[in-house]
Structures are given as C-alpha cells and as structure tokens.
C-alpha cells in the first residue's frame, strides 16, 4: 500500500514558517513528506531540513519522495519528543522553524493491518512506531478497569467511558479482545441505541486508546518548550492539532511562553524574573478554508497555532 497523506493547511504552514533559502527547518512529523517536500523545494544550497518520524514506513516513503534534494534533507527515525536532543548531538544548536502535524496519516488510517481504524477488522495495534512494545492490545487487555475508564474519559471525552471500561473487563475475562471489530461490538453494546446515531460509536474510544498507546499528549507536552528554546531569533514553531486535548496543550504552552510571569496580579513589578520567549502569531488558531475542507474532509478539525521566538517581545 502506497504511503500517502494530503498535507493540511499547506499554504498556511508555509506562510507561517516563512521559509528562507538558507534557513534550517524541522518537520517533526514527516509522514509522507507532504509538507516537507514543499519546504525542501524552497531551500537553497545552504538550507537544511531535518525530518523526523517514528513510523519506519512513513520515513521510507519520505526518503524516496525527497531523494531529489540530496543532503539538504537529513532523516531521523525517532519521535519528535527527542528531536532537540538528537539535533544537538549532531551539532545543531538552533533552527529557524519547526513544524508538528499531529494528525494520523491517511495511510495509517486506511491500512487495515495497522489497527488504527474502527472501519476495518484487524488486530488491535495502533502503534505509530511498530518497534515499540506497547500496543492497543496491551492497553485494552491489561489496563485496570479504573485506568481504562480514565483513558476513555480523559483522552476520548467519552460519555459512556464507565460502561465501556466495565464491559471490556467483563469480555476479556472470557478471552482476550483481539480485534478492532471485537472491540467495536463491546463499545456499541455499552451505550444506548439512540446515542449510536451520532457518528460511529467507537470514534472517541479508538482515539483515546490510540493516544494512550502512543503517549501522544505526554510527548506533545514534553516537546513544546525545548522546541521554542531551540528556535533562533525570529524562528517559528507551527503546530497543527486535530482535537481539543492537543489544542489545549499547545495553547497553554504558547501562552506560558509569551506570558511566563507567575507573580501575583497585585505586584507593582515582576519579581519572578521570568522573561517572555516570544509571541503567538494571531489570537485565534488558523483553520481550513471552505475549499480545502470540501476537498479534504480530514482538514476540518485542524487548528494551526504559530509561536515566534523573540527575546525583545
């Protein structure tokens, strides 16, 4: 199956990164290189693009697609959580722009054997990095009931998290839950029939299990501040999120970087010594226009937030 991924908010990302021919840029979620290819084509002889992805299949596809750019592009099979450390090990101390597209790729969703989608019957997997040990199978079959409840409630914002967690534990007591369709049936039976009409009943639960399996929110929280610190003056961090949990983390991290002071409101002047690292570009996130949303429905929930580094701000 060909690795394909239609890049969302492409024009907005390129404008947000303000790519310079001699700049250094990072694509922390390279995927099928949709964004990366357009960044690379704007680079001159001194420009550099560092591409990270934890999915080996994605990285192989990206290498093939970006082969024409030669040594302008450097690849890392790693989670973007480790990008700053890996780059510093290579002697890269600062970069001019970083992009994170937090969406699951079309390839991952449509490739049944990866187990990301509730639309295909497949083994419970959902690992973005297939070399890691923890899969959706372990999350579903080995988590305690209260932990399953927390995952479904917090990561999926699932109203029926308690029922679903209870029924998962009950079902796996008979035999392990092996497939996506087995899990679908348990989720479906855990909610009133009238609630199954509002989209697929497994949508929120699958999102929650995927997030837990890949530590997605922890990874995002760990990565943002070091990435801001690695930006050169005027450099930009662009992050595309796809659900409220991600967007909340990005919004909060950017706000804290712009307004880091923790002094009580009544203080006449700052005593904590925390200085702003830059500013958020725009008060609201950038979303897909009507034309893109129609052509690529997966772009509809996307939100792009941009932070610009600047000591003087």
* 174-194 pLDDT per residue, tens: 999 999 999 999 999 999 987
Instruction: With respect to residue 229, please indicate whether it lies within any of the assigned structural domains.
Output: yes
Domain identity same for 142 and 225:
no
Q: What number is the average pLDDT over the span 104-128?
A: 88
Which residues form the domain of 165?
116-214
Q: Are residues 29 and 168 in the same domain?
A: no
Is the pLDDT at 312 greater than 60? The verdict is no
Q: Is the pLDDT of residue 311 over 80?
A: no
Question: Which of 214, 230, 250 represents a domain boundary (last residue)?
Answer: 214
Is the residue at 5 inside a domain? no
Query: Do 69 and 131 sit in the same domain of this protein?
Result: no
Q: Choose among 232, 194, 227: nearest CA to 309.
A: 232
**Residue pLDDT, tens place only, 89-103:** 999 999 999 999 998
Residues 6+ away with beta carbon under 8 Å from 54: 77, 78, 79, 80, 128, 129
**Which backbone phi and psi does 304 adopt, to 5 degrees?**
-105, 125
Shared domain for 223 and 302, answered yes or no, is yes
Overall average pLDDT of the 221-240 stretch: 98
Residues 140 and 283 in one domain: no
What average pLDDT does the segment 234-242 reach? Answer: 97
| Low-confidence winner among 40-54, 61-75, 79-93, 195-209 (lowest mean pLDDT) | 195-209
Domain CATH for 233: 3.40.50.150
What's the whole-model pTM score? 0.92
Tell me if 76 is assigned to some domain: yes
Measured CA to CA, the distance from residue 22 to residue 13 in angstroms comes to 18
Strand partners, 52: 76
Residue 155 shares a structural domain with residue 283: no
pLDDT score of 263 more than 70: yes
The confidence score (pLDDT) of residue 196 equals 66
Please identify, among 159, 179, 214, the residue that sits at the C-terminal boundary of a domain.
214
In which band, very low, low, confident or very high, does the pLDDT at 313 lie, cut at 50, 70 and 90?
very low
Average confidence score pLDDT of the chain: 93
In a domain, 63, yes or no: yes
Q: What is the CATH number of the domain that holds 125?
A: 1.10.150.170
Q: How many domains does the chain have?
A: 2
- Judged against a pLDDT cut of 70, whether residue 198 lies above it is answered with no
pLDDT at 94: 98
Is position 3 within any domain? Answer: no
Specify whether 148 is located in the same domain as 19.
Answer: no
- Residues 28, 43 within the same domain: yes
In a domain, 1, yes or no: no
CA distance 220 to 80: 9
Q: Which of 214, 238, 272 is the last residue of a domain?
A: 214
Residues 220 and 207 both lie in one domain: no
């Amino acid at each position: 199956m060909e690795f394909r991924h239609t890049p969302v908010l492409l024009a907005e990302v390129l404008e947000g990164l303000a790519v310079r021919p001699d700049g250094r840029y990072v694509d922390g979620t390279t995927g099928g290189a949709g964004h990366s290819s357009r960044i690379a084509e704007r680079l001159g002889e001194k420009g550099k693009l560092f591409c990270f992805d934890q999915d080996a299949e994605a990285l192989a596809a990206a290498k093939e697609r970006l082969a024409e750019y030669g040594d302008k592009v450097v690849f890392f099979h790693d989670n973007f959580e480790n990008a700053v450390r890996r780059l510093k090990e290579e002697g890269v101390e600062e970069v001019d722009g970083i992009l994170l597209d937090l969406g699951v790729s079309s390839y991952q969703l449509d490739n049944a054997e990866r187990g990301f989608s509730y639309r295909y019957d497949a083994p419970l997997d959902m690992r973005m990095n297939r070399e890691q040990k923890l899969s959706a199978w372990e999350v579903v079959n080995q988590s305690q009931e209260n932990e399953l409840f927390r995952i479904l409630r917090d990561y999926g914002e699932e109203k029926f998290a308690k029922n679903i967690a209870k029924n998962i534990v009950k079902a796996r007591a008979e035999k392990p839950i092996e497939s996506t369709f087995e899990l679908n049936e348990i989720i479906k039976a855990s909610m009133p029939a009238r609630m199954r009409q509002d989209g697929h009943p497994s949508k929120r639960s699958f999102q929650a299990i995927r997030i837990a399996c890949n530590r997605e929110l922890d990874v995002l929280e760990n990565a943002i501040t070091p990435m801001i610190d690695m930006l050169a003056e005027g450099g930009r961090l662009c992050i595309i999120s796809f659900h409220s949990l991600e967007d909340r983390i990005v919004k909060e991290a950017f706000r804290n970087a712009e307004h880091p002071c923790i002094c009580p409101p009544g203080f006449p002047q700052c005593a904590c010594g925390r200085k702003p690292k830059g500013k958020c570009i725009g008060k609201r996130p950038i979303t897909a226009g009507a034309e893109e949303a129609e052509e690529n429905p997966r772009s509809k929930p996307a939100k792009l937030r941009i932070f610009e580094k600047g000591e003087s701000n």
